[in-house]
Amino acid sequence: MQSVSTAIPFVDLTLQHQPIQPHIDQAIRTVIERGDYVLGQAVVEFEQAFAKACGTAFGVGVACGTDAIALGLQACGIGSGDEVILPANTFVATLIGVLRAGATPVLVDCDPKTALLDLGAAEKAVTPRTRAIVPVHLYGQMVSPTLLRDLANTYDLIIFEDAAQAHLAQREGFRAGSIGVAAAFSFYPSKNLGALGDGGIVVTQDDAIAAKLRSLRNYGAPRKYFHVDYGTNSRLDSMQAAVLSVKLPYLEEWNRDRLRIAEQYNALLKPLNSKGLLPIQNQSGKGHVYHLYVIRAFQNTPTGDLICPIDRDLLHDRLNAQGIQTGIHYPLPCHLQPAFKNLGYRAGDFPIAELLCQEIISLPMYPGLTEEHVIQVMGTIEEALATPSAIQLSA
């Protein structure tokens, strides 16, 4: 019997919600009945549970991950005149967070194997004004905690993690969120732990930072109608917190499923490695939580011996023509975004980040993606590689 190929979405969130729908319904009803919709009991409960899961003492819920970065840095005392090092290869929200804290962003290039912040480049970017480094645990893999701490100790820098893609990731015995002074997470629906809307949190070991954050997210008022900080309104809703509390106990299981899928992709991709199609490297073993599964179709190698017969854009088109949705994370690096032209960066400043933007493609990845689907995706890729110019798309 011929197998029927089905459409495969990039992400399917309904799969994770269906089995726990009654619990979610109940949690929402409880909040409605209790009536504490803003900064209610559900928020306090979730903050504690999530901080504990990260191995930290405090969690402060905010409106989204971007606010978690902006307010988190502010709560750490970072602001005007302070230089903050961050990777050029990240989602723009990292940069927006640093800018909104009032600090001066200093972008650095990334490692070509892992796509993570290049710590050697970071060291070269340190000046007497550098106060903090924001490692981004991109795609679900942590930047090396030991190397980060060495760097931070040497130059007396604050480590503020952008862990928006790395809920419960581990490396070298550390959990994401517990390496530095504080860390930001996002609960955007498609993140490893997602709300039914926007949400974010800052976790920290420092009670003074936590207290400052509670003030900053709530109009800068440590107590009602008494404003000591230049704050804002950025709170995690009770309703979202209640939903997140229902989902949190499943997170480890969902992450394990992501790892299972990634390992299956890796195994099926092996025979294609010599054709210039390779995964972004996992250097953290079972601690990688695979928010995204990203592969690279090499078009440029110094020796020219590892060129993929099909480039990234064509691969994307061929997969999409077969109903397989893919993503690109990200197609244009931060320093080349029109919005940040005034930072003064130019094409060529971060060659690795720029090259990756041309060559990477993210394959479908979500808990519940079946073995058959992974085989179908890889079969379609193999076919595309074998017939690189057969582009009669019957769409």
Ligand X SMILES: *Cc1c(COP(=O)(O)O)cnc(C)c1O
Positions touching ligand X (CB under 6 A) are: 64-66, 90-91, 93-94, 136, 162, 164-165, 186, 188, 198, 200
Helix axes 65-75, 92-100, angle to 10 degrees: 40
Could you give the C-alpha distances from 122 to 84, 110, 148, 198, in angstroms and in order?
Answer: 10, 9, 10, 31
Q: Name the minimum Å distance from CB 200 to ligand X.
A: 5
Q: Name the minimum Å distance from CB 183 to ligand X.
A: 11
Q: Name the minimum Å distance from CB 136 to ligand X.
A: 5
Q: Name the minimum Å distance from CB 66 to ligand X.
A: 3
Nearer to ligand X, 334 or 374 (CB): 334
Burial string for 57-69 (b: 16+ CB within 10 Å, else e) reads ebbbbbbbbbbbb
Place of tokens 């970072």: 78
Nearer to ligand X, 56 or 192 (CB): 192
* Residue 27 tokens, joined: 């949690």
**Among 313, 97, 96, 327, CA closest to 190:** 327
Nearer to ligand X, 201 or 374 (CB): 201
The count of residues in the chain is 395
Our answer to whether residue 286 is catalytic in this structure is no
Nearer to ligand X, 94 or 322 (CB): 94
299: CB partners within 8 A, 6+ apart: 276, 307, 308, 311, 312, 358, 359
Alpha helices by DSSP H, listed for 142-202, are 145-155
Q: Name the minimum Å distance from CB 187 to ligand X.
A: 7
Which of 191, 212, 247, 275 is catalytic? The answer is 191
Nearer to ligand X, 197 or 379 (CB): 197
Q: Active-site positions? A: 191
